[in-house]
Chains A and B, each alone.
Chain A
């Protein structure tokens, strides 16, 4: 009884690959590398998009900032009480934040002063905050991102840090903790301390805040309440979640542009290989097809063998490429490539890329590479196989 799958053809295809060791190795190497690069870029952007979506969800619904002469000024804390009287406003909270330039390292830290922590940061942040509250008695304290901690360590600030206030005096603040590594994309350059301490460091008036964040009961009313606030306080800028999303998206799209450039380069390289392959067979390859035809192989038999050959090479390379990309992105955390996508802070982030399994990505890379390669192998073989065998052998 005959086997349904022609194992002799498969064996012939494998032999054919092994017979052309150098050529096959080169093809597998290039194919694997391109698949790896393309898949890695997709994996990284998927992870970053996931991370950004999570960040966007935790952003305040409305931020109210005082504007004077087109610039951002400190806002009166008393505005909070007025905002709380607007129907639909669930909560309003003043925030103190700014940038502190650390001369020794030549970097800016993002300093955030908080009294209450809910609605402002991710849940993961709450854990560390509770721990900090227990230590409040010890005086001024702060929670820092791992990038900040590293920079301060390098400058021998192990237990505390001396902030230089605008009047030149020092403010000593002790370390209370470091943010989890998985929040590092947002928190890497952040210092969180009490609102009073932040005001002292920035020399702000006690009745002032940097801005006010507002929580709305019904998210559908955000735009309407924002316009009410704007009417109440014409000298303010009222920023909604949607505005922030656009802003974040712009940063991501900028990174997306770099991704697109990489993507184009990879595709371009791939299609050069494909073009080269599809533009013709070597005289040896042509002669082999001629011999096979002469001894009784049909065009279908030749094409079937070429299909097996190209499928083995391309699918093997695809699997290896995807495997390496998985390891590179999710185990090694994408060294080099990650910096391209996350390098917008002055402090280098080293957060863990969250594992996002997207079957569409794998399908996309598969359909971009494997069938294309198979087609590029089969078409020139078909051209030769349909010629008269006599013509090919001669």
Chain B
């Protein structure tokens, strides 16, 4: 389902300073698979997630999702690809703090101009599934870290995407909330979502429902 072929990503800090984030990466992820990318900070895990979500483009190589070369997509098509296929859970949640829970969750639906009943139905499903339905009218900045993460997960799932991407999802959570997130991940796996998680949190390393661990070091996959 997801295939990274000979991917290299170079960030140009300035003319004389280039950082090679990924070098010759090859990776295949099957539909419904849960893959955990392990590695230290700066190893290139987040860059792989960005490339899969088409948030950035590789310097060379190809990203293929469902047989489509998404690394070649023009910007507007990449947005549509993300909207239809990707649910991204960011490390710092990336919510809009001055909006309510409900307004944040329905943001991916806004450009589609859906009818009100559809919005309500989708909102009900995700807020109940991720246990945030009692807070839909609360302004996000007034929520705890764990609640904000549940809002971010609900937003990532409101379009019912096939692929869920989570970048260091427990980095800002205590152990209890981290374990709760792992439970959510298990539920998503049960829904046959393809999940890619980038983390260096040891809590993830002994999970029985994880299909595969991929270790990244200095922009390369360790075999």
Q: Which residues of A contact B (CB under 8 A)?
A: 1-3, 6-9, 12, 15, 19, 287-288, 291-301, 386, 388-391, 393
A223 to chain B, nearest CB (A): 69
Cβ of A390: which chain B residues have Cβ within 8 Å of it? Answer: 50, 55-56
Determine the residue in chain A with the shortest Cβ distance to B159. A296
- Give a binary string over B92-116; 1 marks a CB under 8 Å from any A CB, 0 the rest: 0011101100010011111101110
Give the distance in Å from the alpha carbon of A12 to the alpha carbon of B104 in the complex: 10
CA distance A390 to B103 in the complex (A): 22
A sample of 29 inter-chain contacts (CB < 8 A) reads A1-B115, A6-B110, A6-B113, A8-B109, A8-B114, A12-B103, A15-B99, A19-B99, A291-B94, A291-B95, A291-B96, A292-B107, A293-B79, A294-B53, A294-B90, A295-B83, A296-B86, A296-B111, A296-B159, A297-B79, A297-B110, A299-B75, A301-B79, A388-B55, A389-B56, A390-B50, A390-B55, A391-B56, A393-B55
Return chain B residues, CB-CB under 8 Å to A1: 115
Q: Which residues of A contact B103 (CB under 8 A)?
A: 12, 15
Bound-state CA distance A389–B86 (Å) is 14
Does B17 have its Cβ within 8 Å of any Cβ on chain A?
Answer: no
Q: Which residue of A lies closest to B56 (CB)?
A: A390
Write out the residue numbers on chain A whose beta carbons fall within 8 Å of the beta carbon of B119: 8
**Is B79 touching A8 in the complex (CB atoms < 8 A)?**
no
Of A2, A294, A301, A393, which is within 8 A of B82 by CB? A294
Q: Secondary structure at chain A's binding surface: helix, strand, loop or mixed?
A: helix
In Å, the complex CA distance between A388 and B86 comes to 16
- Whole-angstrom distance between the Cβ of B42 and the nearest chain A Cβ: 13
- Contact partner of B96 among A9, A288, A388, A389, CB < 8 A? A288
Docked CA distance A1–B117 (Å):
11
**CB-defined contacts of B94 to chain A, threshold 8 Å:** 287, 291, 294, 393
Residue of A at shortest CB range from B83? A296
- B175 at interface, CB cutoff 8 A: no
A2 touching B115, Cβ below 8 Å:
yes
Would you call B88 an interface residue if the criterion is a C-beta within 8 Å of the partner chain's C-beta atoms? yes
Q: Tell me the bound Cα distance from A295 to B152 in angstroms.
A: 11
Q: Given contacts A15-B99, A291-B96, is CB(A296)–CB(B113) below 8 Å?
A: no
User: 6 shortest A-B CB distances, which residue pairs?
Assistant: A296-B83, A390-B55, A390-B56, A301-B111, A6-B113, A298-B79
Asked if B38 CB lies within 8 Å of chain A CBs, one says no
B57 close to chain A: CB less than 8 A: yes
Closest chain B residue, CB of each to CB of A290? B94
B203 close to A (CB within 8 Å): no
Is B155 positioned at the interface, with any CB of A under 8 Å from its CB? Answer: yes
Q: Say yes or no: A9-B110 contact (C-beta < 8 A), given A19-B98, A294-B55, A298-B76.
A: yes
Count of A-B residue pairs with CB < 8 Å: 83
A230 to B37, CA, bound (A): 104
Q: Does B31 belong to the interface (CB within 8 Å)?
A: no
CB-nearest residue of chain B to A19: B98
Q: Does the CB pair B111–A386 fall under 8 Å?
A: no
Q: Is there contact, CB below 8 Å, between A8 and B113?
A: yes
Residue B84 lies at the interface, judged by CB distance under 8 Å to chain A: yes
* A388–B88 touching, CB < 8 Å: no
Chain B residue nearest to A387 in the complex (CB) = B75
**B40 interface hit (Cβ, 8 Å):** no
Provide the bound-state CA to CA distance between A292 and B111, in Å: 10
| CB–CB B82/A388 < 8 A | no
Residues of A within 8 A of B1 (CB): none
Complex CA distance for A298 and B73, rounded to whole angstroms: 13
Q: Are B111 and A294 in contact (CB under 8 A)?
A: no
Q: Which residues of A contact B50 (CB under 8 A)?
A: 390
In this assembly, does B171 line the interface, its C-beta being within 8 Å of a C-beta of chain A? Answer: no
Q: Which has the most chain A C-beta neighbours within 10 Å: B80, B82, B155?
A: B82
Closest Cβ of chain A: how far from B69's Cβ, in Å? 17
B residues near A299, Cβ cutoff 8 Å: 75-76, 79
The answer on a CB contact under 8 Å between A295 and B155 is yes
A120 to chain B, nearest CB (A): 69
Q: When chains A and B are docked, how far (Å) is the Cα of A3 from the Cα of B113? A: 7
Closest chain-B Cβ to A113's Cβ sits at a distance in Å of 75
| Chain B hits for A291, CB < 8 A | 94-96
> What's the Cα separation between A296 and B94 when bound, in Å?
14
Assembly CA distance A19 to B100 (angstroms): 11
Taking CB atoms, residues of chain A closer than 8 Å to B110 are 6, 8-9, 12, 297, 301
Contact of A295 among B75, B82, B98, B114 (CB under 8 A): B82
